[in-house]
Amino acid sequence: MAENLQAPVTPEEAVDRLAAGLKGEVFMPGDPEYTAECSGFNEIARHRPSLVVAARGTEDVSAAVRFAAEQDLPVGVQATGHGIAAPVRGGVLISTRRMNAVAVDPVARIARVEAGARWHQVIAAAAYHGLAPLNGSSHLVGVVGYTLGGGLGPLGRRYGYAADHVTRIEVVTADGTPRTVTAADDSGLFWALRGGKGNFGVVTALEFSLMPVSRLYGGGIYFPGELSPSLLRTWRRWTETVPETMTSSVALLRLPDVPAVPELLRGRLTAHLRISFIGPEEEGERLVQPLRDVGPCVLDTVGDMPYSAVADIHQDPAEPLPYHERNIVLRALEDDAVDRLMDLAGPGSSCTDLMVELRQLGGALARPPAVPNAVGNRDGAFTLATLSQPGSPDRVLGPMGRWGTGRTYLNFLAGPDTVGAARGCFDPAVYARLLRVKARHDPGNLFRIGHALADPGAGG
């Protein structure tokens, strides 16, 4: 009988075999490229995997997932590092930044993007055809991570969450198989991926609808911090009166006194009102006037603008920095809630958070999408999020919980202390269904890095 026994493969040999079969590369600790490949936007945590696979296509992702399953290692994914929760330690990190093709079909009004694409690519490609994607505040955020977590952006109240408009998902599941899932898929995967984030596989490409928006009446108005109580009171009443074509938010900014911060915002409290209105300029001006009447501002950039400049509305930071992000969802915002928020974070308070932000929900964000998905918080009226320096405990959201729905929004969570927070983003029945889909598609809990659902074997 022929000798059919093979010598056992050592982990080093397994890595060599993996690397030999890839279009992309494998970097190990000590390799010169390793640190840069693991780096991302939020520096509060840094991935330190046993190896990072710099993927160049679906076959690479598939090979990396199979390798991790064989070696019994957890799998994490990084596109940009804007949404890091826990770092990958001792597992496999799949870096998708090289998989960044974007294509727009202007007739079908559909975009197809690969796993590592950023919003600015889609915004530019869609704007060429007078269309807009449902991106968020920063054009540097990754399309896939944002969309899988819901996706709450400047067109949100008119069109809903980005996840509500996904039409097709290409994903590599825990068995290493590339699958295409759509609304016709009956495995629950299409439902779960849209809202349940990275718990079910590595998405290699997404297709989603684009909206017929080419211009906005939008921008930001920066008020001196002392006006924040009157701004917030006026804004909260105003939000009850505006149409769904108006999406707005207010952020209390306490940015450090360093050269990287624009001079007018440095080392002081500023209230930043953000406006995104789909409609004629004259109507936008009329709608915004009561907010301008709050008092003299420091800077007003609100006006007619092309959608391609949408990132100018929020002016989110572009350079990497370390921060915690936490949030709660509010069921309403009454005057007593504004007063309490001002005690906690207004002028004269001891708040040190870099940002305390309220975004209005409602409109299409409150309605179920045409094809049901796992995105929660349809009952919320506002998100209340904080960004704070590493090591800063939460002093705002706890006391504000009185006005909360008891839930949080998955995308506005970052940093190691948010690792266990995924359960709190969903109604119990939705969470239970997510666990059932997880148990079917990832019974070994390979995808347990980041905002992980509970171990499916642990029954929730």
Q: Does 77 bind ligand FAD (CB under 6 A)?
A: yes
Q: Which residues are within 8 A (CB) of 60 and not within 5 positions of it... i.e. 6 or more apart? A: 22, 23, 24, 53
Q: Is 443 left (phi over 0), alpha (psi -120 to 50) or beta?
A: alpha
Q: Does 83 bind ligand FAD (CB under 6 A)?
A: yes
Segment near ligand FAD (CB under 6 A); pick from 2-10, 66-74, 197-205, 340-348: 197-205
Closest CB to ligand FAD among residues 146, 431: 146
Closest CB to ligand FAD among residues 414, 437: 414
CA distance 64 to 172: 10
Q: Does 176 bind ligand FAD (CB under 6 A)?
A: no
Q: How many chain residues are in contact with ligand FAD, going by CB under 6 A?
A: 34
Closest CB to ligand FAD among residues 104, 152: 152
For residue 459, list its beta bridge partners.
none
Binding to ligand FAD (CB under 6 A) within 219-278 occurs at none
CA distance 425 to 358: 17
The backbone torsions φ and ψ at residue 204, rounded to the nearest 5 degrees and listed phi first, read -100, -25
Q: How far is the CB of 252 from ligand FAD (least distance, A)?
A: 16
Closest CB to ligand FAD among residues 113, 396: 113
CA distance 397 to 38: 31
Segment near ligand FAD (CB under 6 A); pick from 19-27, 75-83, 179-187, 400-408: 75-83
Q: How far is the CB of 407 from ligand FAD (least distance, A)?
A: 15
Closest CB to ligand FAD among residues 162, 294: 162
Q: How far is CA 352 from CA 85, 245, 274, in A?
A: 21, 34, 22
Closest CB to ligand FAD among residues 146, 235: 146
Q: Does 434 bind ligand FAD (CB under 6 A)?
A: no
- Out of 198, 362, 380, 415, name the contact with ligand FAD by CB under 6 A: 198
- For ligand FAD, what does the binding mask look like between residues 121 and 160, x meaning CB under 6 A? ---------------xxx--xx-xxx-xxxxxx-------
Q: Does 202 bind ligand FAD (CB under 6 A)?
A: yes
Q: Does 40 bind ligand FAD (CB under 6 A)?
A: yes
- For ligand FAD, what does the binding mask look like between residues 88 and 127, x meaning CB under 6 A? --------x------------------x------------
Is residue 25 within 8 A of residue 33, CB to CB? The reply is yes
- Out of 47, 157, 194, 197, name the contact with ligand FAD by CB under 6 A: 197
Closest CB to ligand FAD among residues 144, 446: 144
Binding to ligand FAD (CB under 6 A) within 327-356 occurs at none
Binding to ligand FAD (CB under 6 A) within 285-324 occurs at 316
Query: What tokens were used for 14?
Result: 């397994």
The backbone torsions φ and ψ at residue 401, rounded to the nearest 5 degrees and listed phi first, read -60, -25
- Out of 81, 91, 188, 380, name the contact with ligand FAD by CB under 6 A: 81
Q: How far is the CB of 60 from ligand FAD (least distance, A)?
A: 12
Question: 293, exposed or middle or buried, with CB in 10 Å at 0-12, 13-18, 19+?
Answer: exposed
- For ligand FAD, what does the binding mask look like between residues 6 and 35, x meaning CB under 6 A? ------------------------------
Q: How far is the CB of 228 from ligand FAD (least distance, A)?
A: 21
Q: Does 58 bind ligand FAD (CB under 6 A)?
A: no
Question: 456, exposed or middle or buried, with CB in 10 Å at 0-12, 13-18, 19+?
Answer: buried
Query: What tokens were used for 321?
Result: 């920095």
For residue 179, list its beta bridge partners.
171
User: How many angstroms separate the most distant Cα atoms in the chain?
Assistant: 91
The backbone torsions φ and ψ at residue 275, rounded to the nearest 5 degrees and listed phi first, read -125, 135
Q: Which residues are within 8 A (CB) of 187 and not within 5 positions of it... i.e. 6 or more apart? A: 181, 437, 440, 441
Q: How far is the CB of 55 from ligand FAD (least distance, A)?
A: 9
The backbone torsions φ and ψ at residue 383, rounded to the nearest 5 degrees and listed phi first, read -100, 145
Q: Does 196 bind ligand FAD (CB under 6 A)?
A: no
Q: Does 190 bind ligand FAD (CB under 6 A)?
A: no
Query: What tokens were used for 177?
Result: 């198989």
Q: Amino acid identity, residue 246?
A: M
Q: Where are the alpha helices (DSSP H) in 118-248?
A: 119-127, 143-148, 156-159, 189-196, 228-239
CA distance 183 to 101: 23
Can you give the binding site for ligand FAD, defined by CB under 6 A?
40-41, 77-84, 96, 115, 136-138, 141-142, 144-146, 148-153, 197-198, 202-203, 316, 411, 414, 450
